[in-house]
A and B are shown apart, each in its own frame.
Chain A
């Protein structure tokens, strides 16, 4: 079963929804959710770069009889998956920081509304 370009369209749509939420929403929590969506869109895109329909897991043990060419032609690309893993960890760090900042902001300003958190200007 092939999905064709549909997953790519999904990644694109997620990217735009994420960007829209980050730019247009006023609520801090919603902005954080927008960043998360954007991150998932990029991760999905990276995953699709290495995907091959019907591909095998990219694990080759010493006793395998499959030739290197056949193996490389039949498995999915493992490298984007490694990139995504790294990017998820980085994203988690960022997310934790954003959420803790949001909590501190709520403590100080008593609101999650970005339009009412406006002391810096000029």
Chain B
């Protein structure tokens, strides 16, 4: 069964390269074949990732190198609890977005190219969360983000191009910092496999090089995850993309290539027992709290529907980072493991919930733009009369993100606030509650200007969106409700294994390292690698 693991990468990558064939007969050609192929792929991947849930952690060695006696010269794919959780989230949102794209993308030319980029982005994200090799993480992160740069520019109008250019420049700079950090780690340990790096780092004193590498990773992945000092690109880039892509970018991309990698490196590679771990945790707490507060403050004044949602993404990711950071700090200070686990549980649960409700909100904003042709809140209004389905879904999502019971956002925010208080961070717990209230205010504004009020005469003839878009939105709305109501049912298979994967920390090294070396030549070469004196 482990041999099936690479298919999560190979299938979407293959479809990504087949899809452009659909545009051989001109940019407008393609018909339904390529969208159907993409949708089928999405369904297949979603089914596969669901089938993987609850399984034992698995390691797959690409090319089977370790069995041939070269233990540390292989690339591995690792699927533990955290990877499983993200895999399900990514592929579920991807499937919903593909379903939505079925109708939405018809107004763009070059439809096959859109699906090609979408699939390549999906392959990159799946590979990032599965990879057990730090350089492979970098390579597939680039695959995913380069596809996303192109997708942001897909409309090729003035704002799209401007946003994409800002995104590509900042994204490139952050990627280079990540590469620098990988180089430093390689020089310190002579390894690129994350398990082996972790094993070597436990024996090393915290030299300045370790700090520098950790700093490079915080800066690089922090920018990808749009933490507050590095957030400037997100409010431009996410709203400029087509709506299903906004849903993918805000819903899963910033998590897969940003927050996930930060968590993985911090807990599994650098380890919480080291001084770097404690400092790392404190940095995350500060970044998380800043993102949470500043994101929501900037969101309140926005009048562009999608831009408002983008600022809320920064704020909500702040919750995730803050909760995970507090969990890490408790572990580093050797506090109660159950409090740490609760904080991390809350953070990861909020990550899944945010994927559901933020994607739904972006899809709703896309529907409003699809029928009304504008995303300015001043020009919208009274949509509950003409678009009942969209309005209902939009309300569910707004209640979820604002933390109103019984929807999913309430439970994860409650767990986060309780965990913060238990860990002794009373101020931050209060701040989290206040930010939640401000989120509610901001979404009351959205309700007031989009769904309620008088319908502008210009919009009185608009109707409901096509069926695939309605089905996609309804699916996510149901997910928002079920993720909240069915916590006792799904936490054992979805969130708790992921929490355990993080709290177990550097035992990652023991569980996923290659078998003991057997061939002397390779051992010698590997042991001297990366230790070259200048």
What's the nearest-Cβ distance from chain A to residue B486, in Å? 39
Per-position contact with B for A1-21: 1 when CB-CB < 8 Å, else 0? 010110110000000000100
Q: Which residues of B contact A48 (CB under 8 A)?
A: 534
Q: In the complex the two chains form, is B528's CB within 8 Å of A72's CB? A: yes
In the complex, number of A-B residue pairs with CB atoms less than 8 Å apart:
125
Q: In the complex the two chains form, is A90's CB within 8 Å of B142's CB? A: yes
Q: In the complex the two chains form, is B169's CB within 8 Å of A122's CB? A: no
Q: In the complex the two chains form, is B142's CB within 8 Å of A101's CB? A: no
Q: In the complex the two chains form, is A104's CB within 8 Å of B172's CB? A: no
Q: Which residues of A contact B525 (CB under 8 A)?
A: 68, 71-72
Given the known interface contacts A80-B183, A119-B159, the answer about A22 and B534 at a Cβ–Cβ threshold of 8 Å is no
Q: In the complex the two chains form, is A77's CB within 8 Å of B530's CB? A: yes
Q: Which residues of B contact A22 (CB under 8 A)?
A: 169, 173
Interface members, chain A 27-61 (any B CB < 8 Å): 28, 31-32, 35, 38-39, 42, 45-46, 48-53, 55
Q: In the complex the two chains form, is A87's CB within 8 Å of B162's CB? A: no
Q: In the complex the two chains form, is A105's CB within 8 Å of B168's CB? A: no
Binds A, one of B88-96, B145-153, B347-355, B405-413: B145-153
Per-position contact with A for B505-521: 1 when CB-CB < 8 Å, else 0? 00000000000000011
What's the nearest-Cβ distance from chain A to residue B308, in Å? 10
Q: In the complex the two chains form, is A93's CB within 8 Å of B146's CB? A: yes
Q: Which residues of B contact A46 (CB under 8 A)?
A: 179, 183
The CA-CA distance from A42 to B524 in the complex, in Å, is: 28
Q: In the complex the two chains form, is B173's CB within 8 Å of A101's CB? A: no
Chain B's interface: helix, strand, loop or mixed, by majority? helix
Q: Answer whether residue B68 sits at the interface, using C-beta atoms and an 8 A cutoff.
A: no
What's the nearest-Cβ distance from chain B to residue A56, in Å? 12
Q: Which residues of B contact A42 (CB under 8 A)?
A: 176, 179-180, 183
Q: Which residues of B contact A104 (CB under 8 A)?
A: 153, 156, 161
Q: Which residues of A contact B176 (CB under 8 A)?
A: 38-39, 42
Q: Answer whether residue B107 sits at the interface, using C-beta atoms and an 8 A cutoff.
A: no
What's the nearest-Cβ distance from chain B to residue A114, in Å? 8
What's the nearest-Cβ distance from chain B to residue A94, in Å? 5
Interface size class of B (residues with CB under 8 A): 35 or more
Q: Answer whether residue B458 sits at the interface, using C-beta atoms and an 8 A cutoff.
A: no
Q: In the complex the two chains form, is A83's CB within 8 Å of B164's CB? A: no
The CA-CA distance from A97 to B176 in the complex, in Å, is: 16
Q: Which residues of B contact A83 (CB under 8 A)?
A: 135, 179, 182-183, 186
Q: Which residues of B contact A8 (CB under 8 A)?
A: 534
Q: Answer whether residue B358 sits at the interface, using C-beta atoms and an 8 A cutoff.
A: no
Q: Which residue of chain A is the closest to B302 with respect to CB atoms?
A: A122
Q: In the complex the two chains form, is A97's CB within 8 Å of B149's CB? A: yes
Given the known interface contacts A51-B534, A119-B158, the answer about A101 and B172 at a Cβ–Cβ threshold of 8 Å is no
Q: Answer whether residue B471 sits at the interface, using C-beta atoms and an 8 A cutoff.
A: no
Q: Which residue of chain A is the closest to B145 with respect to CB atoms?
A: A94
What's the nearest-Cβ distance from chain A to residue B442, in Å? 14
The CA-CA distance from A38 to B534 in the complex, in Å, is: 22
Q: Which residues of A contact B236 (CB under 8 A)?
A: 120
Interface members, chain B 279-338 (any A CB < 8 Å): 301-302, 304, 307
The CA-CA distance from A90 to B182 in the complex, in Å, is: 15
Q: In the complex the two chains form, is A101's CB within 8 Å of B183's CB? A: no
Given the known interface contacts A97-B149, A119-B159, the answer about A79 and B530 at a Cβ–Cβ threshold of 8 Å is yes
Q: Which residue of chain B is the closest to A28 with respect to CB atoms?
A: B165
Q: In the complex the two chains form, is A101's CB within 8 Å of B532's CB? A: no
Per-position contact with B for A78-108: 1 when CB-CB < 8 Å, else 0? 0110010011001101100110011011001
Q: Which residues of A contact B159 (CB under 8 A)?
A: 119-120
Q: Which residues of B contact A45 (CB under 8 A)?
A: 180, 183
Q: Which residue of chain B is the closest to A117 with respect to CB atoms?
A: B162
Q: In the complex the two chains form, is B179's CB within 8 Å of A87's CB? A: yes
Q: In the complex the two chains form, is A101's CB within 8 Å of B521's CB? A: no
Q: Which residue of chain A is the closest to B158 with respect to CB atoms?
A: A108
What's the nearest-Cβ distance from chain B to residue A23, in Å? 9
What's the nearest-Cβ distance from chain A to residue B105, in Å? 20
Q: In the complex the two chains form, is B532's CB within 8 Å of A94's CB? A: no
The CA-CA distance from A90 to B157 in the complex, in Å, is: 26
Q: In the complex the two chains form, is B139's CB within 8 Å of A86's CB? A: yes
The CA-CA distance from A42 to B180 in the complex, in Å, is: 6
Report 28 cross-chain contacts, Cβ distance below 8 Å, ordered by A residue. Answer: A2-B534, A35-B169, A39-B176, A46-B179, A52-B532, A52-B534, A55-B532, A68-B520, A69-B524, A72-B525, A77-B529, A77-B530, A80-B183, A83-B179, A83-B186, A86-B135, A90-B139, A94-B146, A97-B146, A97-B149, A97-B168, A101-B164, A104-B156, A108-B161, A119-B159, A120-B236, A120-B240, A122-B304
Which 7 A-B pairs have CB atoms at the shortest separation, nearest pair first? A68-B521, A72-B528, A52-B532, A68-B524, A46-B183, A120-B236, A90-B142
